[in-house]
Amino acid sequence: MATGRVPRGRFVRGSALGRLAAGQAIRDAGTKVAMLGKPEQARRALAERSTLQAAQQLVTVLGGMKGAAMKLGQMLSVLDIDLVPETHREMFRHKLAELRDSAPQFPFSAMRTVIEDDLGRLSGVFADIDETPIAAASIGQVYRAQLRDGHTVAVKVKYPGVDEAVHADMRNLRMFSKLWKSMLPSAADAGVLDEIARNIGGELDYPREVRNQRRVAQRYRGHPFITVPDCVERYCGPNVLVTDFVDGQPFAALRALPDDDRSHIGELIYRFYINSLFTDYEFCGDPHPGNMMLGADGRLAFVDFGLYHRMDPVHADFERECLRAAGQLRGQDLYDAWVGRGIIDPQAGVTVDECLNYVWAAAGWHLLDEEVTITPELATGAVVLAMDPRATEFRGMHQQSLPPEHVFSRRADLFTFAVLGQLVTTNNWHLIAREWLDGEAPTTEIGRAVAQWQAGRATR
């Protein structure tokens, strides 16, 4: 149940503007809850024939794209298909399955060749390796193995020829942009396409992924609630990545846990994907259920750092300031910031209210000081309304420029929301967000425990 609490950030308290915003927040509590995600508007957008045709065209274009197609399928798999009209639902399921299952199927004999080209004979490295993959990623497969010293590891191996296939996909992005221009005009910008190509192409760079994962594993070593498996660097090469093995429950099992456990896990997911962006200025740009599991030691494990992204603090701080303006209902400040950054053309007719409502629909879950249960429907509504220009309410926003430096941070935000929707988890997300929005001390039990752990590390 909503509590009706008002924002308590330090930039709101004590000012006339803050008192005005607080009063408005009390009066509009129900309205602000309704602004989150807006599933009904998303349902109407998905019901339009033009949207259904665009989805079919999207699959057709991506049908020949190897790693990129599966990556899109993984992203879309966290959305709620029930928002699609029942008459078209089966078609959507079929189309998404085409993308999600588009990974090439290679026998172990072919994958063995890739491993031995990088590491030498299997018997020189592994005492045993299970030839049945335990997971399929967008550019490779993962196997469970045991090193000769008895250490159990996960071995991620690229599909033969996937580098060439993905590079071809990236070259085709320019051609693909003609489709995007009709679906999402801001995504057809050359700078945005370059950013997408750079990040997706970066998934092929296993040495870079090793460096990222080792750094993040070190950051979370000894963490009370989160673990990141470290890389076994001496057995990593251009096409093979060997990490500690995590034995745990997959995301599907987490969905069946009691409410309190799902709330606990939801806060950890939020902290890992969202807090890190604004505190460490780097983040994992690939939130989806296959990249997390509950370890046997009770800690939540995160894997796969191919789309790990560093962000210039200037850009992250700009996003922070815009979210704070929206949370404090300072619509004019938000509008002026976007105009000043070149995001909005002041001659385009986009209004202050449209800017404010757009942020609340897509990111209001960070801003509302109430408990919110994130459902698949709510999260899908946010993704559709943020990205689909057929959503009439925000059509003006979708014609504006999407700065390349914000492509993957906003993607990470939306798809973290979508993952939490799949978990169906409840929290006052704003209580957690105030740590990075306003620099406040943590108020949740998890936050205080993490702060104590960090303080202990700093004194060693």
Which residue did the predictor score with more confidence, 422 or 42?
Answer: 422
Residue range 233-246: average pLDDT?
96
8 Å CB contact between 242 and 153: yes
The C-alpha atoms of residue 429 and residue 421 are separated, in whole angstroms, by 13
pLDDT at 404 over 70: yes
pLDDT at 264 over 80: yes
The C-alpha atoms of residue 54 and residue 97 are separated, in whole angstroms, by 16
The C-alpha atoms of residue 255 and residue 265 are separated, in whole angstroms, by 10
8 Å CB contact between 246 and 161: no
The C-alpha atoms of residue 17 and residue 155 are separated, in whole angstroms, by 56
Residue range 402-416: average pLDDT?
83
Query: Phi and psi (nearest 5°) for 174?
Result: -60, -45
The C-alpha atoms of residue 212 and residue 305 are separated, in whole angstroms, by 7
Residue range 400-414: average pLDDT?
80
Q: Name the least confident of 13-17, 212-216, 305-309, 404-408.
A: 13-17
Instruction: For 204-249, give the secondary structure using H, E and C.
Output: CCHHHHHHHHHHHHHHCCCCCCEECCCECHHHCCCCEEEEECCCEE
The C-alpha atoms of residue 408 and residue 415 are separated, in whole angstroms, by 10
Mean pLDDT of the chain: 79
* pLDDT score, position 37: 61
288-317 b/e (C-beta count within 10 Å ≥ 16 → b): bbbbbbbeeeebbbbbbbbbbbebeeebbe
* pLDDT score, position 5: 34
Distances (CA, A) of 381 to 36, 251, 422, 436: 8, 22, 13, 25
Q: Name the least confident of 32-36, 321-325, 400-404.
A: 32-36
pLDDT band at 22 (very low <50, low <70, confident <90, very high): very low
Residue range 330-334: average pLDDT?
94
* pLDDT score, position 26: 33
* pLDDT score, position 377: 82
Enter the pTM of the model.
Answer: 0.82
- Region of 247 please: left (phi>0), alpha (psi -120 to 50) or beta: beta
In sequence order, which residues have a C-beta less than 8 Å from that of residue 134 and are 6 or more positions away? 142, 143, 144, 154
pLDDT digits (tens, 9 = 90+) for 302-325: 998 988 889 999 999 999 999 999
Query: Phi and psi (nearest 5°) for 96?
Result: -65, -35
pLDDT at 267 over 50: yes
The first and second tokens of residue 190, run together, are 């050359």
pLDDT digits (tens, 9 = 90+) for 114-140: 999 999 999 999 999 999 999 877 788
pLDDT band at 424 (very low <50, low <70, confident <90, very high): very high
* pLDDT score, position 162: 84
The first and second tokens of residue 116, run together, are 């031995």
8 Å CB contact between 96 and 73: yes
pLDDT at 23 over 60: no
pLDDT at 10 over 60: no
380-389 b/e (C-beta count within 10 Å ≥ 16 → b): bbbbbbbbbb
8 Å CB contact between 371 and 1: yes
Place of tokens 């760079």: 205
The C-alpha atoms of residue 48 and residue 333 are separated, in whole angstroms, by 34
The C-alpha atoms of residue 297 and residue 225 are separated, in whole angstroms, by 9
In sequence order, which residues have a C-beta less than 8 Å from that of residue 101 and are 6 or more positions away? 70, 73
The first and second tokens of residue 274, run together, are 């969202």
* pLDDT score, position 11: 35
8 Å CB contact between 285 and 273: no
pLDDT at 72 over 60: no
pLDDT at 59 over 60: no
The amino acid occupying position 151 is H
Q: In the chain, pLDDT over 70 holds for what percent of residues? A: 66
Q: Name the least confident of 67-76, 227-236, 271-280, 420-429.
A: 67-76
